[in-house]
Structure 1
Amino acid sequence: MNAGRKEGIAQHSPLARGIGGFGGPGGAFIPTQKAKDVKKSLTRLLGYFRPHAFRLGIVFGAAIIGTLFSILGPKILGNATTDLFVGAMSKLRGEPGEGVDFTKILHLLLELGILYFFSSLFSYVQQYLMAGVTQKTIYELRRQVDEKLSRFPLRFYDTHSHGDILSRFINDFDNISNTLQQSLTQLITSAITFVGVIVMMLTISPLMTLVVFLTLPLSFFATKAIASRSQRHFSDQQKSLGQLNGHVEEMYTGHLIVKAFLHEKQAIDTFNEMNGRLYEASWRAQFISGIVMPLMSFIGNLSYVLVSVIGAVLVTQNAITIGDIQAFIQYARQFSQPITQMSSLTNLIQSTLASAERIFDLLDEEEEIATVIAPVKNFAPRGRVQFEHVQFRYRKEEPLITDLNLDVKAGQTVAIVGPTGAGKTTLVNLLMRFYELDSGRILLDGVDITSFERHDLRQMFGMVLQDTWLFHGTIRQNIAYGRENATEQEIIQAAQAANADHFIRTLPDGYDTLLNEEASNLSQGQKQLLTIARAILADPAILILDEATSNVDTRTEAHIQRAMQHLMSGKTSFVIAHRLSTIKEADLILVMQNGSVVEQGTHQELIKKDGFYAELYYSQFGSWEKQEPAI
C-alpha cells in the first residue's frame, strides 16, 4: 500500500475495564469511575458549549418555566377538589346555594390542562434544542480527536493498546453524549422541582413540611448503609464480568487451537468457575441493592401516614382545606424524586467527567514535530538514500542504532537481514519518518528528509508489510486504495503484476467480491497478493517490502519475485527478509546486528567472507551446502 497511509501496528493487550453505571432498583451502587481533576475537566468540557450559549439559555429558560408549570398543577387540582367537596357537603346539609359550582371546577380543570400543555411544550423545546447542542458539541470534540489521532507519532500507537484508544473514541464519547443530552436538563429540572415543591409545601402547612423533612435523615442513613454493603459486591461483579468476557473472547478467538489440543473441557470448566463467581457476586449485589426500594417505600408510606393524620387534624380545625391535603400528598410524593435523581446523576456526571478527562488526555498528547516552515515541493526523487551518523533508540536507556552510515544508490535493490531485534524494520521506519532521529540525518537524493512535509515524503514510498491489512469492501476498492482515481485497467494490471488476477477471476464476483472486516474469506497468501497489488498500483519511487512473501507458498513466491524484479526495475527497493533464498539477487545485502550494519555486499561476496551472513544462511539451508552453495 502507499506508505502515506499508515497501517497500524498490532498491539494487543488484555483490557478489562469496569463500566460505571446503575444496578438494581433504587439507584446506583456500581463503583463509578471518577476524574482525577473534576474542576479542570468540568471547566474544559463546559468550554465547548460557549458557541451555543444562546441556545443553552433558551434550554435552561424552557426547563425552568416548564418545571414551574408542572409544580403549580397539584395546587390547582387541590383547589378543584376543595370546591367539589365544599359544594357537595353544603348540598347534603341542605344549606342555601347551588351546591357544587361545576363551572368554577371546569374553569380550574381548564387552567390545569393549559398548565400541563405548556409544561409539556417547554419540555419538548428544551429536549429538542439540547439534542442539537449536544450533538454539535460532540461532533466538534470527536473531530478534534480524530484529527489529533492522525497527527500522533507511531511511538504513541506502540505504547497504547488499540483497545484503549477505541474505548476512548467510542465508549467515552457515547457516555458524554448520553449524559449531556439527557442528564444536564434533568439536573436543572430536579433542582427546580426540589426547591419549588418545598415552597409549595410550606405555603400549605409548615408543620406537615417539617414531618416530611424528618424522614429525610432516615432515608439517607438507610441508603448509605445498603450502599456500603452492596458496593463491594458490585465491584466483584464487574471484576468477574471482565474476566468472563476476556475468557470467552480468548476461547472463541483461538477455538481451533483449543480443539487441536483437546482443551474443550478445561475451557468449559474455567468458564463455569468464572460464571459461578459472577453469579454469586451478582445475586448478592442485586439482592442487597434491591432492598432499597421496599425500604424507601416503607419510609415513604410512614411519612404518608403521618401527613394524612396531621392533615386530617388540621382540616377538622379549619387550618387547611381537604384539597390542600391532596395537593400536599402529591408534593410529598414528588419531594423524594428530585433527591433520588440528583443522587443518581451525581454518579453519572462523575463517570462522564472521567470519560471527558480520558478524551482530553488524548488531546493533550504530544504530536509529531511541527510541519516544516519552507518544505521542499514538486520533488521528483531518483531514489538515492544516505544514512549519515544516524543514532536512534526507542527508550533512552536502551540504545538501538548507533552511528549508522549507509549509501544506497538509485535503482538498487537492498536486502536487510539479521536476527530479531537487530533494527531492520526500525531502519525503514526512520526512513519514512515514523520516528524522529536522536542524531544524524537521512538524505533522499541529497535532500534531508526533514525538509519534506511528511505527507509528501511518504507518497514517495510504497510499503508491503508481513501483517496484511485489508478493509471491509470489494477487492477492487482494496487494490485502488493504493492510488486515488485509479482506472479499472490500472487496477487489473496491478493485480496481474502481483499474480493475483487469476485467483480473483476464479471468485464468484471477481473484482466485486466483498471482503469482510477481517478478510477471512481469503487465504493468508491471497490477502498478501492483494496488498502487493496495492503497492504496485501506487507506483512509488522507493519500495519497502517487510517480509512481503512470508505468507505465500514457494511457487507463488517465485511468481511474485519475478513480478517484483520487473516492478523494481529502475527503482530503489528495501527488502526485509528472514528467508534468505528470496534475496540472492539483491544488489546489496545489509547484515544488521544490535542496530549496526556489521556486513554488506552481494550474496556471493558475503558467502565468501564466511562471516555472520554465511552463518545465518547455512543455518537455514544446512551445512552440506557450505561446500557448494547454491547461488
Structure 2
Amino acid sequence: MAEMVEEKVESEYSGSITKRLMAYMKPYTKQMVLSIILVLLITVFELLRPILIGDAIDTYIEGYNQPYAIVEKSDLSFQGEYLSKDLEGADCFAQLLMYEDEYYYFTDLNAQESEELHEISLGSVVPESVTKDGMVIAGISGEKLDADELKVLRNNDFHGIIRIGILYTIILVLNLICTFVQTWVLQLTGQNIIYEIRKEIFHHVHSLPLRFFDTHPVGRIVTRATNDVESLHEMYATILIRLFRNSIKIIGLAVVMLSMNLTLALYSFILVPVIAALTVVFKRLSRKIHREIRTKISMLNTFLSENISGMRLIQIFANEKMKYDEFKDKNSELYRANIKQMSVFAIFRPLIYFLSQLALGIVLYMGGMNVLDSTLTIGILYVFINYISNFFEPIQDLAEQFSTLQNAFASAEKIFTILDEKNTILEKENPVILDEIKGKIEFKHAWFAYEKDDYVLRDVSFIIHPGEKVAFVGATGAGKSSILNLIGRYYDIQKGQILIDDVDIKDLSIAQIREAIGQMQQDVFIFTGDISSNIRLLNDDISDETIVKSAQTVNAAHFIEHLPEGYHEPVSERGSTLSSGQRQLLSFARTLAFDPKILVMDEATANIDTETEQLIQQALERLMEGRTTIMVAHRLSTIQHADNIIVMHKGKIREMGTHQQLLQNDGIYKKLYDLQLYSV
C-alpha cells in the first residue's frame, strides 16, 4: 500500500519538463552560446581530418596516376621541363606509370595520348614490350626512372604530404583546445546550475508547512536534494551539448557524403530508417524504466533513513531479521529495475553496432566495385569508410544520451513535484508589523482539523493576557499540542479566529510571530556542531556572553562547564552524546538566549529527573517573569502555580480555572489529579 502511494505521488507532475529545465540555463546564455560555437568548430575539424587524408592519398600518395601538364614555368622541373598538375589549357602532357614495382616516364604526349595513358594507369598495365631502359605501351614509348629521378619527379608530392601533415596537426591541436574549453565551460556551468537547484530545493523545503513533513518521509526529500539533483548535472554539463554536437555531426557527415558521391551516400543511408525506428522504441522503454528506477531509489532511501534513525528501537525489540528481509525486498526491486535497464541496453547497443557494420560492408562492397571500375578514387573510398563509422557512432551516442536524458527527466519530475508543493500558510503582501508583541493571545471559536473534517479542536475560545501563565491539561489526543502549533501558525485553523495583541495572526508577519515565541518541546533536536552553535542556532546577534548567561540562568552551565571543551564541545546528530535531561536544559538555554515574549512549553520537563527539575523550577520562574507562558503537561505538579488551567477533552474546553478552583469543582481535573496522586 505504501508503495502504491509513493508511486502515485511521484508521478503527479504533468508540466513541461523541458521548458522548465531550460529556464535554469537562461542566466548562462553566453556560456551556452560559446559552447555551441565551439561544438560547431569541433565538428568542422572532425569532418576535415578524413578529407585531408583522402586528399593526401589521391593527390600525393597515389599521385603517379595523375598526368602532368608541360608548362613554361612552375615549381617542379624535371629533365629540363617544367611540370604542373593543373591541366587546364595545356597542350602537351607527361604521365608516370608503375609496372612491377618499377616506374616509367612518358613525355611529349598530346591530349588523346595523355588521356589514354591515364586510363591505363588506373587499371591493369599490360605493356607491349619492356626493356631495361623503358617500355612501350599503346604504341607510346616511356623511359624507366631510377630512385633518384623518381624522387625529383615526386618532390612536390612529398612536400604536399608534409603540408597536409602540418595542417592535420594544427587541426588536432585546435580541436584539443576547443574541446578543453568547451568541457571546462560546460562542467562549470553545470555545477553552477546544480548548485542553484539544490539551494532552491533546500529553501523551498524550509518554506513548506509542517503538514508537508507529516506526509512526506525524510528519505524521499533527501533523495530529491541529492540523487535526483545529481542526475541533472550530467544533462546540463554533457548531454545537451552532446545531443547538439551529434545532431550537427550527423547532418554535416550526410551533407559532405552526398556532395562527394550521391550514389554511395544513398547506399550508406539505406539502414538509417531501421536505426531510427529502433531508437524510438529504445527511448520509450528507457524512459519508463528510468522512472521506475528513480521511484525505487527514493523508496529505498526512505526505508534506510527511517530505519537508521530508529535503529535503537529495532535492536531493543530484536527486529533486525525482519528489517533485513524488508530491506532485501526493496533492494531486490531496485536490482530488478536496473536489470531491466541493462537488458534494454544489451539488446539495443549490439543491434546498432551490427547495423553500422552492415552499412560499412555495403559501402566497402559498392565503393570497392567503383574503385575497380575507375569511377571512384581510393581517397574518396577512405573518406566514406571513415565517415560511415563516424556516422553511426553519433547515432548510437544519441540513443544512449536519450537514455541519460530520460533519467534526468525522471529525476526532474520528482524534483518539480517537490518544488510545486504549495505553502498553505500564506502571508499577506503587506502584513501588519507590530511595534512590540506584548503577548496577549485569544482564540475565538476556533475549529481545526489535520485531515478534512476530522476536527481536533472544536469551537475553542479563551483569552491569555500578557504575562499570564496558562496551562493546558487533558488526556492524550485532547488537542493540547495542536493549540501550541496554531499559536505559532505552523498550521491554520479552518474556522474561527486566533489573535495576538488583538490582531488576527493571518494579518501579522509570520516571522514576527515566530520570533516572539520561544518553544521548548519534549523531543529536543540537537544539530551537529558544538554546544554554543546549538544555543545560538546561527544567529550572530546572540553574543557568547548571552549564551553563557542563558546557560547559567537555566542551570545548563552546571554540566556544560564540566565538558572537556565547554561551550565548544562537539555534539553529534540528535545529541546522542548527551542525556535527555542535558538536551532539555540546552533547549531552555536556547529559548532564553532568543529572549521571546511568549514561552511555549510542551511537556518540557517530562524527561528531566526530579533533582534536575527542582534546579530549573527557580530558573523557569525567573524566565517566565513578564512573559506570557503557555504550558502543556501531564504531570500536574508542575503547573499548580499557573494563573489559569484549561482542561481539554476531545477537542473542547471542559473546565477552566486555578488549581484550587478546579479541585473544588470535582470535575475532570480533580479526577486527573487524584489519579496521579494515588499512583505515586
TM-score by length of 2: 0.77
Aligned-residue sequence identity (percent) comes to 32
Alignment of 1:488 with 2:544, yes or no, is yes
8 A Cα contact 2:282 2:399, kept in partner: no
Following superposition, the deviation at residue 351 of structure 1 comes to 3.9
Q: Give the SS at the match of 2:574.
A: coil
How much has 1:570 moved relative to structure 2?
2.9
Using the alignment, how far apart are the partners of 1:512 and 1:261 within structure 2?
A: 36
1:81 to 47, 57, 60: 57
Structure 1 counterpart of 2:426, which letter? Answer: I
Distance change in 2, residues 1:72/1:159 (3 Å)? same
Q: Given the alignment of the two structures, is residue 95 of structure 1 paired with residue 104 of structure 2, yes or no?
A: yes
In 1, the alpha carbon distance for the partners of 2:505 and 2:303 equals: 46
Contact 1:34/1:353 (CA < 8 Å) preserved in 2? no
Distance 1:322 1:389 in 2: 94
| Runs of at least 5 residues in structure 2 that lack an aligned partner in the other structure | 66-96, 106-149
Q: Count residues in correspondence.
A: 596
| Deviating more after overlay: 233-242 vs 384-393 | 233-242
Deviation at 1:150, TM superposition (A): 4.4
Residues 51-70 of structure 1: pairs in structure 2 closer than 5 A: 51-70=27-46
Change (3 A) 1:248 1:436: closer
Task: Quickly say closer, same or farther: Cα 1:247–1:389, change in 2 above 3 A.
Answer: closer
More displaced stretch, 288-297 vs 75-84: 288-297
- 1:364 and 1:451, CA in 2 relative to 1: closer, same or farther beyond 3 A? same
Structure 2 distance, partners of 1:274, 1:34, is: 19
Task: Choose from 346, 354, 370 the match for 2:427.
Answer: 370
Amino acid in the other structure paired with 1:158: D
Instruction: Report the AA paired with residue 162 of structure 1.
Output: V
Q: What corresponds to 2:652 in structure 1?
A: 596
Q: Which residue of 2 aligns with 1:208?
A: 264
* Contact 1:204/1:320 (<8 A) preserved: no
**Using the alignment, how far apart are the partners of 2:670 and 2:633 within structure 1?**
15
- The two structures, once aligned, show a CA RMSD in angstroms of 3.7
Given that 1:500 and 1:530 are in contact with CA atoms closer than 8 Å, whether structure 2 keeps it comes out as yes
CA distance in 1, matches of 2:278, 2:463: 78
CA 1:468 to 1:606, structure 2 compared with 1: closer, same or farther past 3 Å? same
Structure 2 counterparts to residues 466-615 of structure 1, below 5 A: 466-481=522-537, 484-615=540-671
Give the Å deviation of 1:203. Answer: 3.1
After TM superposition, list the pairs within 5 Å mapping 1:212-231 onto structure 2: 212-217=268-273, 219=275
Give CA-to-partner distance per residue, 1:586-610, whole Å, 9 cap, x none.
Answer: 2221111222211112223223322
Point out the structure with max Rg over C-alpha.
2
Is the CA contact (8 Å cut-off) linking 1:247 and 1:271 kept in structure 2? yes
| Pairs within 5 Å for 1:429-448 | 429-448=485-504
Q: Which amino acid is 2:42 matched to?
A: G
Cα 1:162–1:599 change in 2 (3 A) is same
Higher mean C-alpha displacement, 452-461 vs 433-442: 433-442
Superposed CA offset, 1:167-211 (max 9, x none): 333344333333112111111101000111112222343333333
What letter corresponds to residue 486 of structure 2 in structure 1? L
Tell me, what secondary structure is at the counterpart of 2:269? helix
Equivalent-residue separation in structure 2 for 1:361 and 1:80 (angstroms): 58
SS at match of 1:95: strand
After superposition, residues 351-366 of structure 1 pair within 5 angstroms as: 351-366=407-422
Following superposition, the deviation at residue 66 of structure 1 comes to 2.1
**2:436 equivalent among 374, 379, 389:** 379
Conserved? CA contact 2:481–2:632, under 8 Å: yes
The CA deviation at 1:429 is 2.0
Deviations, residues 542-601 of structure 1 (Å, cap 9, x unaligned) = 100111122222322232233212211232211111232322222221111222211112
> Alpha-carbon deviation of 1:408?
1.9
Q: Secondary structure at the match of 1:464?
A: strand
- 1:164 equivalent in structure 2: 220
Letter in 1 for 2:45: F
Whether the 8 Å contact between 1:472 and 1:516 is mirrored in structure 2 is: yes
1:313 aligns to 2:369 (yes or no): yes
Moved more, 201-210 or 425-434: 201-210
Q: Determine if contact 2:220/2:302 at 8 Å carries over to the other structure.
A: no
Larger mean Cα displacement after TM superposition, 161-170 or 139-148: 139-148
Aligned to 2:109: none
Secondary structure of residue in 1 paired with 2:447: strand
> Could you tell me how far apart the structure 2 residues matched to 1:491 and 1:348 are?
51
Which is worse superposed, 465-474 or 440-449? 440-449
C-alpha contact 1:227 1:289 (8 A) present in aligned 2: no
Higher relative strand content: 2
For residues 12-36 of structure 1, the C-alpha deviation after alignment (integer angstroms, 9 at most, x for no partner) is x889989xxxxxxxxxxxxxx9895
Cα distance, 1:476–1:424 mapped onto 2, change above 3 Å: same
Q: Which moved more, 1:395-404 or 1:542-551?
A: 395-404
Q: How does 1:191-206 map to 2 (within 5 A)?
A: 191-206=247-262
Which segment is superposed worse, 591-600 or 451-460? 451-460
- Compute the displacement of 1:283 (Å): 6.0
Distance 1:135 1:250, change over 3 A: closer
* Local SS of the residue matching 2:535: helix
Can you list the C-alpha shifts for 1:603-631, whole angstroms capped at 9, x where unaligned? 232233222222333344437x8xxxxxx
Letter in 2 for 1:338: P
Structure 2 Cα separation of the partners of residues 14 and 529 of structure 1: 40
Distance 1:455 1:51 in 2: 31
Shift of 1:473: 1.3
- Tell me the distance in 1 between the aligned counterparts of 2:272 and 2:11: 27
Q: Which residue of 2 aligns with 1:462?
A: 518
Q: Deviations over 1:469-493 (max 9, x none)?
A: 2222110111122864333332122
- Give the SS at the match of 1:477: helix
- Corresponding residue number in structure 1 for 2:388: 332
**Counterpart for residue 143 of structure 2:** none
Q: Does 1:124 align with 2:124?
A: no
Residue of structure 1 equivalent to 2:164: 108
* CA-to-aligned-CA distance 1:131-179 (integer Å, 9 cap, x gap): 4544555555555555544443433443444333333333443333331
Cα distance in 2, alignment partners of residues 301 and 593 from structure 1 = 80
Structure 1 residues 463 and 133, CA gap change in structure 2 (3 angstroms): same
The letter for the 1-side match of 2:178 is F
Alignment of 1:273-422 (within 5 A): 286=342, 289-367=345-423, 368-371=425-428, 373=430, 375-379=432-436, 381=438, 383-422=439-478
Whether the 8 Å contact between 2:60 and 2:160 is mirrored in structure 1 is no
Q: How far apart, in 1, do the equivalents of 2:284 and 2:24 lie? A: 36
